[in-house]
Amino acid sequence: MSDRLMSAEDLARVTGKKTSNKQAEWFLEEFGLRVVRCGDGSPVMTWATFQALMDKRAGILSNGQAPNLTVS
């Protein structure tokens, strides 16, 4: 994934929200994350960070492997 910042269009597409405040609320609700914001209030998110959040949610470790879910 890229360290490129998500554009305003990317943020709207991913969150389904049009306004910066609603986008920030979405990240808080979905990931428990208070996003960093630009001076204009828009969220700052890289694609790499977003992918890491999605991987964590899916239970994928940072090395790309799924955790061992075997119960003893």
| CB contact burial 34-50 (16+ within 10 A = b; e otherwise) | ebeeeeeebbebeeebb
- Cβ–Cβ under 8 Å, residues 54 and 42: no
Q: What is the pLDDT of residues 19-52, one digit of tens each?
A: 999 999 999 999 999 999 999 999 999 999 999 9
DSSP class of residue 9 equals H
Nearest residue to 5 (alpha-carbon basis) of 30, 37, 39: 37
Band of residue 72 on the pLDDT scale cut at 50, 70, 90? very low
Residue 61 has a pLDDT of 72
